[in-house]
Amino acid sequence: LFALKLLECFISQHKVRGAKYLPRIIEMIVGTMVNATLLPEAFSKRLLILILTYYETSPEFLFGCLDQLNPALMPQGDLKTWFFEQWFSSLQLFIGVHDRKVVLLAFSKLLQSLRTNTPQCVITDLPTIFPNVIKLFEKIKTAYKLKAKYGNEDTDSDSDDEYGGHDSAGEL
């Protein structure tokens, strides 16, 4: 999981200079998500890297990378549709404040681009997605209240703790 966190930092810090490496990173991430049995935390960290790529670069960049992947990775359908289905069905897996922020920022970017190249699965699933997104906002609000109540203890973890997780590396 630490390697995945480093990839997250790499994407955030070097989105322009590191763009030439992202297609291979995305291929490895998708390959393990599709072909391996992962624990929920490992799955959500990999999914978060895809969501972060969507947010930090552009939807077109991520979709281009997904389109270039080996079709054998996803014999049952389109990788773009798979990406959105995984994202929206896994919202409960994002437990840390940082992870929730990334998911919500990417969702905001998705809403801004609804008029352009949006897969049909997103448009048809929006009514069911919104309640879960609102829950994410509420969980962040609760986490910040608990964080303020119990103090801002510095930890080495970016996952859930007694107040819902926090970003030990600073604000997003």
pLDDT at 159 over 60: no
Q: Which stretches within the chain are classed as H helix?
A: 2-13, 22-35, 40-56, 59-67, 79-89, 97-112, 120-150
pLDDT at 153: 56
Segment 18-40 shows an average pLDDT of 87
pLDDT at 38 over 80: yes
Q: pTM to 2 decimals?
A: 0.79
pLDDT at 152: 63
Q: Which tokens is 118 given?
A: 């949006």
Burial code (b: 16+ CB inside 10 Å, e: under 16) for 89-112 equals: ebbebbbbbbbbbbbbbbbeebee
Where residue 164 falls among pLDDT bands split at 50, 70, 90?
very low
More confident residue, 55 or 123: 55
Average pLDDT for the chain = 80
More confident residue, 71 or 171: 71
More confident residue, 27 or 95: 27
pLDDT at 171 over 60: no
CA 160, CA 100: separation in Å to the nearest integer? 11
